[in-house]
Amino acid sequence: MYMLLIFPVVLLFLSSLTFFSKRKADRAHLGRLLHFMLFAALMLPWALIVFSLFRGNLENFSMNASPLANTADLWLLSCQAMLALVLLLVRAKVESPEAWFKAFVSAMLGILFLVLSLHPVLGLPFAIDSREAAVVSAVSFIVGLFLLFGLPPLQLGVIDLGSEKNASLHVFLNVSLRYCLGFVILFTLGFNNWVQDIEALSFLIAGAIFLGVGLTRIVLRLQTNLFRMLSYLTSGLALSLALQLLFAEYGELFFFAQVLGLIPIVAILNERSPDASGGLDLQNWANFRRFNGEAAERLHMGLRLFLYLEVGVSLATAVGLAMKGHFLVALTALFAGFCAFVVTRDKHAFAPRLAA
């Protein structure tokens, strides 16, 4: 229940950070109206969940009676409307139509896969009770997550937008949108019996997420563009969904801890850049370090904290899984933790690589 109270506050925080952005090197701010519309689109799922709760379903508020079931169409529409609005509104600001189109394909297919799997009424495990339904549902959940959270090998749709110039846009696409989706998924997982319906496959889903997040950490340290790095970093929010599948409740806690860890990183990325930059591309790590030495140091520290949190949770999950006897999934969790740890120890991370 506390998720419902915290969600709008944290989103307000994230949103206000982009609203008061002072980066002069960016072409321009998002307009005030556009900004407000993006924020309203991201608040839609929360508003609809609260609306459905106050419609008189409070007495059935338990694990097996989803308060969303009565307003399932609204759930579906709010998710799709949110994505479509965000993507259509930002289209005017994006320079490369092909990159945007690829992101659009990723988002739309991702949400369709997610609806097929998780929608309180249309979702396959709720509509059909068979082994095949469980398999298709688990697979669509994984594919949907990989597309929406930009996990390899399906990350390209989202990552291609990384070279765009508008910082506020990146925060909306990479942080707020994923936070919002994570909230909707965690809420739906918490208030219906989806996990029990596909219990045998929940380990496969968690394992796939751990492997995907581990792969993002391997490529994270090679990024020289700040916003591509941000995109790969926020892919880690998918980890809390895996945790929620394995150990309910802990996923939600970890999710909020991760978002709190992201706030300083987003704040630093929004800082004022010096006028002395001489028109250089400040989205590049090397230039950012040169002109914003202190901010770059703090950004590194924020990144390390975020990643150490991930390492700790991955290792704890691996131990918990090993104690339960699921050694293969424990190994994937260990892999995710190890990959995140390597990034924190790499002294040459985010530095430009010289061609051999």
Partner 1 sequence: MKGLLNIGEILGAIVSSKMTGDVRAHAGWILKFALVLTGFAYLALRS
CB of 9 to partner 1, least distance (A): 31
Run of H or E residues at 10:
helix 2-19
Residue 63 binding partner 1, by CB under 8 A? no
Residue 260 binding partner 1, by CB under 8 A? no
d(CA 4, CA 47): 10
Residue 313 vs 330, nearer CB to partner 1: 330
CB of 77 to partner 1, least distance (A): 18
Going by C-alpha positions, the residue among 71, 39, 80 that lies closest to residue 191 is 71
Going by C-alpha positions, the residue among 47, 82, 52, 48 that lies closest to residue 65 is 52
For partner 1, the binding residue among 208, 246, 269, 321 (CB under 8 A) is: 208
- Per-position DSSP letters for 114-126, written without gaps between them: HHHHH-TTTSHHH
d(CA 289, CA 297): 8
Binding part of the chain for partner 1, among 38-46, 119-127, 202-210, 281-289 by CB under 8 A, reads 202-210
CB of 97 to partner 1, least distance (A): 7
Residue 169 vs 226, nearer CB to partner 1: 169
Residue window 77-116: x/- pattern of binding to partner 1, with contact defined by CB under 8 A = -----------x--xx----xx--xx-xxx--x-------
C-alpha 200 chain-centroid distance: 25
Residue 235 binding partner 1, by CB under 8 A? no
Residue window 118-137: x/- pattern of binding to partner 1, with contact defined by CB under 8 A = -------------x--xxx-
Residue 248 binding partner 1, by CB under 8 A? no
Query: At a CB cut-off of 8 Å and minimum separation 6, what does 261 contact?
Result: 302, 305, 306, 309
Residue 231 binding partner 1, by CB under 8 A? no
Is-contact 221 279, C-beta < 8 A? Answer: no
Residue 157 binding partner 1, by CB under 8 A? yes
C-alpha 348 chain-centroid distance: 26
Is-contact 29 168, C-beta < 8 A? Answer: yes
For partner 1, the binding residue among 17, 43, 68, 138 (CB under 8 A) is: 138
Residue 143 binding partner 1, by CB under 8 A? yes
Query: At a CB cut-off of 8 Å and minimum separation 6, what does 146 contact?
Result: 110, 153, 154, 155, 208, 212
Residue 33 binding partner 1, by CB under 8 A? no
CB of 204 to partner 1, least distance (A): 5
Residue 25 vs 148, nearer CB to partner 1: 148
Going by C-alpha positions, the residue among 306, 340, 349 that lies closest to residue 175 is 306
Contact residues: partner 1, CB under 8 A: 88, 91-92, 97-98, 101-102, 104-106, 109, 131, 134-136, 138-140, 142-143, 146-147, 153-154, 156-157, 200-201, 203-204, 208
